[in-house]
Structure 1
Amino acid sequence: MKQISKIYKGFLLLALCTAGLSSCKDYLDREDTSGFITNDQIWKNSKAIDAVLVNLYDGGLRLDEFDDWYTGKENNLNPTALSDEAQGSYQKDPAFSNANTVYTYGDYLFEDKFSDRYVHIRRANEFLLNLENTDAVNDEQKQAYNAEVRFVRAMEYFSSVKRYGGVPLLVEPQEFNPSDFTVLQVPRNTEQECYDFIINECKAIADFLPVTRSGSEQYRATKGAALALLSRAALYAGSIAKYGSVQINGLVGIPSSEATHYFTESYNASKEIFALNVYHLYDENADKAQNFYDLFSKAVNGNNGEYIFQKQYSLSGGKAHSWDKMNAPFSYRGGGWGCGMAPTLEMVEEFEYTDGTDGKLKLFEDDGVTPIRYDDPYELFDGKDPRLFGSVYVPGSPLKDSKVEWLRGIIGADGTRYQAYNQPDKDNSVMVDGKKYSASGKDGGADIGDASKTGFYERKFFDETQTNMDMGKSETPWVVFRLGEIYLNLAEACMEIGGKDGEALDAVNAIRERAGIKLLNEISLEKVRHERRVELAFEKQRYWDMKRWHIAHLDVKQGGLTNFRGTALYPWYNVSDGKYTFTTGVPPKQLRSFLEKNYYIRLNNTDISTNPKLIQNPGYEN
């Protein structure tokens, strides 16, 4: 077997500091601090073994987290912006600028090249083999390490299968023979085989992982994390079986006859998580909007009782992210960047009113023509689901010692409209009825520049306490699995299995009760999906949900992404009475086109050229 690559001591130290998974103290006691640590040395020292394991977490988990941008952060492409939740704000963003053209979802969108991914899978396999032969840890520790690495490996495979469909399943180290590369060339397994592997691994390891962890180990895999992966992966598999189609001999797609089986697997895993009695929906603040924001905040820092598995960050450990700098409302960004994710009006209106009525904003009187006049833009949102205010900065939202100001323009006494025409830090002055006004708010209003073009900014995950607004300074943890999702997984599985409407209703109502919104009297699959869209907004799940439900290719009028552009809300200040009225409009962004082939990503040409046994995904054959 090819030995694990030589590892510098400093690399091991970085591994221990990574992702908040372990302490940096006393990471390795050894006399010789120079040169390399060889494979043999690692497997004779339990602390070195632990360090390698932590590195598997850091390098091996593809999480769609904060800094996971496609083609670079300057393009604003991530699963939030490319779902129907939001659009990228930047003026020169190639996927969203040039409103007269159509953006077709790319062949390699969010790819995870085999040449990159299988480095981590091979490292996991090598770890497992070396673990069997070491005497540095006892049998009980071996079982725990084995389960933990298999969890990481299962996560790696889940990240791949949701992108490509079936991928090669490698579960043992490959022998490297420089005179015969063909032994390394293996074909793809079917998509069903890959999901079965993930599900079976989670079942096999769950009981060997601790129910809870504390101290320096608190962010490593637990039994709940394994069950949460099972819950999500099985739900995906059930959806693919029910709504997708089997192609290229099962390399993509799962037979429809298997749908109920996978939904039942997801249901059972979710029930097991509840039976652990170690997680609860975070509900510490009587202010429901603030409570929902706090759940994802740096202040609470993941210690909320709801997170099942998370990725922690540490500025002092050299592992921080840039979410706040990338997404701060314009006037709060500290110069440059900011404004990244601009929620659409469609997303804002998905949030109902607390009395359970439809979330469409009340812009006009009952005649549908006369604009309603508001004393403050924030009043427009009175009575909305508190989760909206925990997730989105709307015009007038309080933030720090000020409020978010997004203004489309000024309306004179004679009805003349004076629209914002510049980025908000540039001149937007207009003379109206002999008085000078700014046609823009400090956080946007015009169709040019980098500020939001929709009137909204993302609040969820934004650290309102951060004062050093710069790249690589943020420490808010990323949630991978939380109990709120498990309630919704359970509800969806119940509806798909059939005959479990009562359980589905109870699960959704548990979410709505915590949110502070009227409970439902009846349930449907559509209502479950709606609740999922609102509760999990901006957690980078919507894009993958639309793919597994096979609705992304549909026209926007049917709930899909084709011909979706996203709508903006435009507040106007009326000089005649000092009140605000609203219109809606279409930001200068491209229409989108999601093709059937985009349900799976194109295999990279380099991967195929080095492994002729790989078969390309449908629609990408040429």
Structure 2
Amino acid sequence: MKMKYFSPLFVSCALTLSLYSCNDYLDRELTSGVITSDLIWESPQAIQSVLVTMYDEGLRLDEFDDWFTGKSNLLNLTSLSDEATGAYQKDYAFSNANSIYTYSDYVFEDPFATRYVQIRRTNDFLKKLNETAVLSTEEKRVIDAEARWIRAMQYFGLVKRYGGVPLLTAPQEYVPGDFEGLQVPRNKESEVYDFIIAECKAISDILPASRTAESKYRASKGAALALCSRAALYAGSIAKYGSNANLSGEAVTRGYVGIASSEAMRYFTESYNASKALLDAGTYSLYNKNADKAENFYELFSKSVNGNNGEYIFQKTFNVSAGKGHMWDKMNAPFSYRGDGWGCGVTPTLEMVEAFEYSDGSPGKLALKNTDGTPRSFDSPYDLFAGKDPRLFASIYVPGAPLKGSKVEWIRGVINGQNGSGQKYQAQNQPDKDNVATIDGVRYNTSGKDGGADVGDASKTGFYMRKFFDETLTDMTNIDAKRSETPWVVFRLGEIYLNLAEACVELGGRDAEALQAVNAIRSRAGIQPLEAISTAKVRQERKVELAFEKLRFWDLKRWRVAHLDESQGGLTNYRGTALYPWFNVKSKKFTFETGVPPKQKRLFLERNYYIRISPTDLSTNPQLVQNPGYGN
């Protein structure tokens, strides 16, 4: 009887498709009609093409166009962290401000069927790679390592969402009608992390030390060490801080979720060793080519540098002419720069702005008032931010920030007076609508061209994202055209310095090394070095250095603080604060107030540390056990 190879969770696919349609893509003809399945393993070029497809189509990397429930709802890893919020009112999280947004049971899920199709393909690829005779032993060894890295990335995407998942490392043999042999139970969360770490360590000395510009989307030794550094750090945090969340039930007792606290130091050591090896190799360096510290940090993530910065360890590349662009710029352009609609998407909050310290190392809270309690006055809104960490200006467009020969203008309204005193005329409509006040016969626009009111599409916080924004892109029309090519950074050296520092403070006795790592980051940023280090200071540095790189949400989860109140650094009751610049018509100066944007407060439940396993997966694989807090 003919046997085929399937994922243990193939049954999720079988509910909606025939078993034949779930067959491996290596078992069907390629659409080119040139290479058939029988010839793939007789052609080195075809084998490389299949590997490229595994990178391009198989890896979900939490990148630019990854949205939960679709782009119009503006729910992504940035807007649902404490970094930002959605601009306009399309989703229940960002409208109806008197309600509470409870984080979805499936927020940022990665459906089992989707991931396991890719894992199954990788396992089949590895088996057939071992059997082919058209590649040399060394060629096969390197390609094998690449495929194993891809598989490790797939498991990391699953484990940070679900905890322990079925760990499948070889193709399964399926005899038609025998489903039970494919129904595999979950592995412990620790076992999945151990697998990822072991794979990274095994392949790191096989993969090339670096890649050419043409192959920067492919795994290298650095990518293996970076994955090990991040995964082990996550596992260590879950082991150390897991008891801060009250989770119970069968999945907990079986170890499918949660890691024993006794394992924390082992994982932190693994993370430290991988980070140290990567830094000591000297293959990568912090980007530091522009004397202007703000522009230097912006360039690191820019289309003009295009990932060729010496700091990116692994990235996702884009090519519009090849039909592989993205829509980040169109989604997030400030209102007056957005072209034919959309834009303004994910907007930073005042809390995020104030997380950036001043360059002299003093706390980042903005001084809106004089010592006597009266509002401070400024010639331009931009002057309020003088002396702030240069990374702020590289990461966020604050009111008055320069952009494309103009300035980002976000004004709450005008005051018929000075020093913040007098009758206020507040913007009532989005910037392209009527926002006019007549004072003593003079007409004033009560809104900036990029926002000021609580309605419409523009930012409600007063800020826009600059990091990753392509300031050279001129055509902002047609969002579906996907005209953006800025690469997405998956791993970069800046994170590795901070991973090392965090592992050091968690291990204890390595404060000097942690301090040196954090100060390397601060030196590049152009900010005063720290004189002492702590866990809180490392976490603070991660927040500003890695802002909007979609790591913050996972950090809050692994530290087990997400369920806490916002006053304790959590996401519960968080909705962010807005900064309101007012133009005083008598003095011709600006004063500031803070306000509450029309966004819901949030509720992050303890069960949200793990995603709910779908009813489809539970019904088709009786071996699975639901995550805590969800029932069945």
Bucket of the pairwise TM-score, normalised by the shorter protein: over 0.9
> Quick one: distance in 1 between partners of 2:176 and 2:100?
47
1:422 equivalent to 2:429? Answer yes
1:433 equivalent to 2:440? Answer yes
> Quick one: distance in 1 between partners of 2:405 and 2:114?
45
> Quick one: distance in 2 between partners of 1:430 and 1:600?
51
Does the aligned pair in 1 maintain the 2:29–2:37 contact within 8 Å? no
Greater Cα offset, 596-605 or 429-438: 429-438
Structure 1: where are the runs of 5+ without partners?
Answer: 12-32
Counterpart residue type for residue 107 of structure 2: L
Pairing partner for 1:400 from 375, 395, 404:
404
What corresponds to 2:272 in structure 1?
A: 267
Report how far residue 41 of structure 1 moved. 0.8
> Quick one: distance in 1 between partners of 2:363 and 2:215?
44
> Quick one: distance in 2 between partners of 1:158 and 1:146?
18
1:243 equivalent to 2:241? Answer yes
Counterpart residue type for residue 312 of structure 1: T
1:4 equivalent to 2:2? Answer no
What corresponds to 1:587 in structure 2?
A: 597
> Quick one: distance in 2 between partners of 1:452 and 1:438?
17
Q: Which 4+ residue blocks in structure 1 deviate beyond 6 angstroms?
A: none
Q: In percent, how many aligned pairs have the same letter? A: 67
Pairing partner for 1:505 from 480, 505, 515:
515
Q: Any idea what the Cα deviations from partners look like across 1:51-74, whole Å, max 9, x if unmatched?
A: 000111112212110000000000
Map 1:109-258; keep pairs closer than 5 Å.
Answer: 109-245=107-243, 247-258=252-263
Give the match's secondary structure for 1:100. Answer: coil
Counterpart residue type for residue 455 of structure 1: G
1:283 equivalent to 2:288? Answer yes
What corresponds to 1:601 in structure 2?
A: 611
Q: Any idea what the Cα deviations from partners look like across 1:152-209, whole Å, max 9, x if unmatched?
A: 0000000000000000000001112221111111000000000000000000111110
Pairing partner for 1:461 from 461, 468, 471:
468
Pairing partner for 2:535 from 525, 536, 539:
525
Does the aligned pair in 1 maintain the 2:349–2:578 contact within 8 Å? yes
Counterpart residue type for residue 595 of structure 1: L
Q: Any idea what the Cα deviations from partners look like across 1:72-116, whole Å, max 9, x if unmatched?
A: 000000010000000001122221100010000000000111111
What corresponds to 2:386 in structure 1?
A: 382
Give the match's secondary structure for 2:514. Answer: helix
Does the aligned pair in 1 maintain the 2:216–2:314 contact within 8 Å? no
> Quick one: distance in 2 between partners of 1:569 and 1:248?
47
Report how far residue 215 of structure 1 moved. 4.9
> Quick one: distance in 2 between partners of 1:170 and 1:58?
22
Does the aligned pair in 1 maintain the 2:397–2:464 contact within 8 Å? yes
> Quick one: distance in 2 between partners of 1:302 and 1:204?
27
> Quick one: distance in 1 between partners of 2:413 and 2:346?
22
RMSD value, Cα: 1.1
Does the aligned pair in 2 maintain the 1:4–1:39 contact within 8 Å? no
Q: Any idea what the Cα deviations from partners look like across 1:405-433, whole Å, max 9, x if unmatched?
A: 00000000270010000011111111123
Give the match's secondary structure for 1:228. Answer: helix
1:473 equivalent to 2:478? Answer no
Q: TM-score, normalised by structure 1?
A: 0.95
> Quick one: distance in 2 between partners of 1:8 and 1:329?
46
Q: TM-score, normalised by structure 2?
A: 0.93
> Quick one: distance in 2 between partners of 1:74 and 1:621?
31
Pairing partner for 2:359 from 338, 354, 358:
354
Pairing partner for 1:488 from 498, 501, 505:
498
Does the aligned pair in 1 maintain the 2:416–2:439 contact within 8 Å? yes
What corresponds to 1:63 in structure 2?
A: 61
> Quick one: distance in 1 between partners of 2:281 and 2:321?
34
What corresponds to 1:562 in structure 2?
A: 572
Pairing partner for 1:335 from 333, 337, 340:
340
> Quick one: distance in 2 between partners of 1:166 and 1:218?
31
> Quick one: distance in 1 between partners of 2:461 and 2:295?
23
What corresponds to 2:19 in structure 1?
A: none
> Quick one: distance in 2 between partners of 1:356 and 1:374?
23
> Quick one: distance in 1 between partners of 2:30 and 2:483?
25
Does the aligned pair in 1 maintain the 2:101–2:602 contact within 8 Å? yes
Does the aligned pair in 2 maintain the 1:385–1:516 contact within 8 Å? yes
Q: Any idea what the Cα deviations from partners look like across 1:493-531, whole Å, max 9, x if unmatched?
A: 000000000000000000000000001111111000000
Report how far residue 10 of structure 1 moved. 4.4
> Quick one: distance in 2 between partners of 1:124 and 1:73?
29
Q: Any idea what the Cα deviations from partners look like across 1:520-549, whole Å, max 9, x if unmatched?
A: 111111000000000000000000000000
What corresponds to 2:349 in structure 1?
A: 344
Counterpart residue type for residue 396 of structure 1: G
> Quick one: distance in 2 between partners of 1:401 and 1:275?
42
Counterpart residue type for residue 352 of structure 2: M
> Quick one: distance in 1 between partners of 2:577 and 2:176?
57
Counterpart residue type for residue 234 of structure 2: Y
Give the match's secondary structure for 1:53. Answer: helix
> Quick one: distance in 2 between partners of 1:461 and 1:216?
21
Q: Any idea what the Cα deviations from partners look like across 1:309-356, whole Å, max 9, x if unmatched?
A: 000000011111000000000000002110011100000000000010
Report how far residue 4 of structure 1 moved. 3.3
Does the aligned pair in 1 maintain the 2:30–2:37 contact within 8 Å? no
> Quick one: distance in 1 between partners of 2:71 and 2:92?
12
Counterpart residue type for residue 428 of structure 1: N
Does the aligned pair in 2 maintain the 1:105–1:592 contact within 8 Å? yes
